[in-house]
């Protein structure tokens, strides 16, 4: 979309959401603000497709190193690891009842994260954040953060006003009803934690998809859409490189539907994208849509919605593949019949663990039984009554450095942009003490907090000095992998390979094998999923001759593998 035609595109999209013309004056106000923002921004366009080549590191500021100053001290260390993009988990002002996803002020950063007193001015905090962004950019690191677009905290000033009564001007910023009989087909996301999507407040009820202290915004009111666009414009002006669009499948509600993935939600995302493209092209809009791949790709639109999206179903299938020591679960989930092809400008973001649970929400009951049965090693790890498992990567993989290295090998070589969750590079373990303190503080038995909690840098330093420690082994393996990565992994084609394996039972596939190709470079990736050593004689009936990218030495058939071993082989031309 060019700047010349963007107002007309916005008008067309706006009319799809508000066909009566009731929001036309609000739209013209928005167009004026977009034009002003584009004229005043001091940052140039970002490189096209930068997010494809990124290595993303996801972190909580306070758990990582207490404050932004603490994070700034570690920027060279992160860059040395191979990180190129920071995903800051919620940093905006919040009562912190849902780890910051309950936003109280969209323009105000939490004072404690900046090492400032609560009395510090909003302007002072914003300047401190701009200073941090400048330092990150000097270190070659782009920065994105979360914007919860579906809901706010109940302490947000809009909702504080809204709950004062039906005549309050902010009442229809949210979804109120006289009873709880609307949107009956809508599933409860926090199964086992919330009994309903409606919460009584006085003589009325308000709607929420997540916790009862997170009321959903009402996008039927054009003023709400205007306000969220203004928030995007504000953070663009501060120098942010992208936004993780939280919970976007739920932002539009329609009676008689399940209130997920509705056409109006896609139109709203197109409006967000148009705003970003007009002001600072190639600012990342990342879809957080926990949906089947065929639904997620719809949030890419025709290159006019999100640039990228999380491949949520791949993650549990990686764990299933590891549990069964069989490549088929990963092969099946990435088959074009399940994961459709995407446009060249779009990208999947892939991960092993994030701040949330290992979600089993979108898998079959049979897969849920397998994965939950294998990885929920303690009753405490259960989340959402069997629909998820709370746990750190190193815990789920039995604190076995070979298994952990294998999992990283799979994530770092399949198609997509990889995300490393803070602490996983040090084999961080579950933190039961931190979880228990949170449970007592909030009254919510949210076991996802097992996988959060602080890094203890003194302990990490001590363990890194011991080459036999789990921390040291995992960190050394990951560093070697990240150093070996090239654009063949971030942008190359993925072609499945058929390894001929000596002495295995017919019908089993204990090696996940594939070629990656880009601009004349061809790499063969072999991941031994088995707990046994094995030998690969040929690939697709042909012998292999190339350079082991991880060991930087020649290799040729037959190829031998230790249990859970892996090889990345740059093939000879």
Q: What is the distance between the alpha carbons of residues 38 and 236, in angstroms, rounded to a whole number?
A: 10
Asked if 486 contacts 82 with a C-beta cutoff of 8 angstroms, the reply is no
- Tell me the sheet residues that pair with 93: 105
**Sheet containing 204-207: which strands, arranged edge to edge?**
176-177, 204-207, 198-201
Work out the number of other CB atoms within 10 angstroms of the CB of residue 466: 11
**What is the end-to-end Cα distance of the chain in Å, rounded?**
41
Helix (H) or strand (E) holding 36: helix 24-40
Work out the number of other CB atoms within 10 angstroms of the CB of residue 21: 10
Output the CA–CA distances (angstroms, integers) from residue 351 to 150, 214, 414, 478, in the order listed: 23, 27, 11, 14
Asked if 218 contacts 224 with a C-beta cutoff of 8 angstroms, the reply is yes
Catalytic residue among 93, 216, 288, 463: 288
* Distance, C-alpha 94 to centroid of its chain: 20
Among left, alpha and beta (phi > 0; psi -120 to 50; other), residue 564 is: left
Catalytic residue among 246, 278, 395, 424: 246
Output the CA–CA distances (angstroms, integers) from residue 79 to 56, 73, 74, 83, 330, in the order listed: 11, 11, 9, 5, 30
Q: What is the distance between the alpha carbons of residues 420 and 478, in angstroms, rounded to a whole number?
A: 10
Contact partners, residue 360, CB within 8 Å, separation at least 6? 316, 367, 368, 371, 372, 386, 387, 388, 389
Output the CA–CA distances (angstroms, integers) from residue 274 to 29, 171, 224, 233, 367, in the order listed: 15, 28, 17, 11, 39
Q: Is 304 a catalytic residue?
A: no
Burial of 27 (0-12, 13-18, 19+ CB in 10 A): buried
Taking Cα atoms as reference points, which of 13, 37, 15 lies closest to residue 24?
15
Asked if 526 contacts 491 with a C-beta cutoff of 8 angstroms, the reply is no
Q: Is 246 a catalytic residue?
A: yes
- Tell me the sheet residues that pair with 371: none
Q: What is the distance between the alpha carbons of residues 171 and 188, in angstroms, rounded to a whole number?
A: 24
Asked if 473 contacts 467 with a C-beta cutoff of 8 angstroms, the reply is yes
- C-alpha torsion sign, points 487, 489, 491, 497: positive
Catalytic residue annotation: 246, 288
């Amino acid at each position: 979309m060019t700047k010349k035609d963007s107002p007309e595109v916005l008008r067309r999209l706006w009319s799809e959401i508000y066909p009566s013309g009731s929001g036309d004056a609000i739209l013209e106000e928005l167009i004026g603000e977009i034009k002003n923002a584009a004229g005043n921004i001091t940052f140039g366009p970002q490189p096209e497709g930068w997010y494809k080549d990124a290595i993303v590191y996801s972190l909580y500021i306070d758990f990582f190193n207490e404050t932004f100053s603490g994070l700034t001290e570690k920027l060279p260390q992160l860059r040395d690891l191979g990180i190129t993009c920071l995903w800051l988990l919620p940093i905006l002002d919040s009562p912190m009842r849902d780890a910051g996803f309950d936003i109280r002020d969209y323009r105000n950063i939490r004072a404690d994260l900046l090492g400032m007193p609560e009395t510090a001015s909003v302007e002072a905090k914003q300047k401190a954040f701009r200073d941090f962004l400048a330092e990150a950019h000097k270190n070659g690191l782009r920065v994105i953060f979360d914007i919860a677009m579906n809901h706010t905290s109940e302490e947000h000033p809009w909702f504080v006003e809204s709950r004062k009564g039906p005549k309050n001007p902010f009442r229809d910023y949210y979804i109120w009803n006289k009873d709880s009989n609307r949107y009956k087909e809508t599933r409860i996301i926090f199964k086992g934690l919330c009994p309903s999507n409606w919460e009584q407040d006085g003589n009325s009820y308000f709607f929420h998809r997540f916790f009862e202290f997170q009321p959903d915004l009402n996008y039927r009111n054009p003023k709400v859409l205007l306000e969220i666009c203004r928030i995007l414009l504000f953070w663009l002006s501060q120098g942010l490189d992208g936004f993780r669009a939280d919970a976007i499948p739920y932002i539009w509600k329609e009676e008689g539907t399940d209130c997920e993935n509705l056409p109006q939600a896609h139109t709203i995302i197109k409006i967000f994208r148009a705003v970003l493209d007009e002001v600072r092209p190639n600012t990342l809009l990342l879809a957080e849509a926990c949906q089947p791949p065929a639904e997620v790709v719809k949030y890419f639109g025709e290159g006019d919605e999100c640039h990228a999206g999380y491949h949520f179903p791949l993650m549990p299938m990686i764990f299933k593949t590891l549990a069964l020591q069989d490549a088929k679960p990963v092969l099946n989930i990435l088959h074009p019949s399940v994961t459709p092809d995407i446009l060249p400008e779009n990208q999947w973001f892939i991960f092993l663990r994030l701040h949330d649970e290992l979600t089993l929400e979108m898998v079959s009951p049979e897969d849920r039984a397998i994965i939950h049965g294998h990885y929920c090693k303690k009753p405490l790890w259960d989340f959402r009554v069997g629909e998820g498992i709370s746990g750190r990567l190193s815990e789920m993989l039995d604190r076995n450095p070979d298994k952990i290295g294998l999992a990283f090998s799979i994530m770092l070589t399949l198609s997509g942009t990889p995300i490393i969750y803070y602490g996983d590079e040090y084999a961080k373990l579950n933190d039961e003490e931190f979880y228990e303190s949170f449970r007592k503080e909030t009254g919510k038995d949210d076991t996802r907090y097992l996988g959060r909690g602080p890094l203890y840098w003194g302990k990490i330093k001590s363990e890194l000095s011991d080459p036999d420690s789990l921390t040291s082994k995992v960190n050394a393996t990951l560093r070697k992998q990240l150093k070996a990565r090239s654009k063949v992994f971030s942008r190359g084609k993925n072609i499945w390979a058929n390894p001929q394996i000596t002495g295995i039972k017919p019908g089993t596939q204990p090696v996940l094998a594939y070629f990656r190709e880009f601009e004349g470079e061809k790499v063969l990736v072999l991941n031994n999923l088995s707990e046994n050593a094995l030998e690969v004689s040929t690939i697709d009936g042909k012998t292999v001759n190339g350079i082991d990218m991880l060991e930087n030495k020649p290799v040729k058939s037959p190829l031998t593998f230790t249990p859970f071993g892996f090889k990345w082989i740059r093939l000879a031309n």
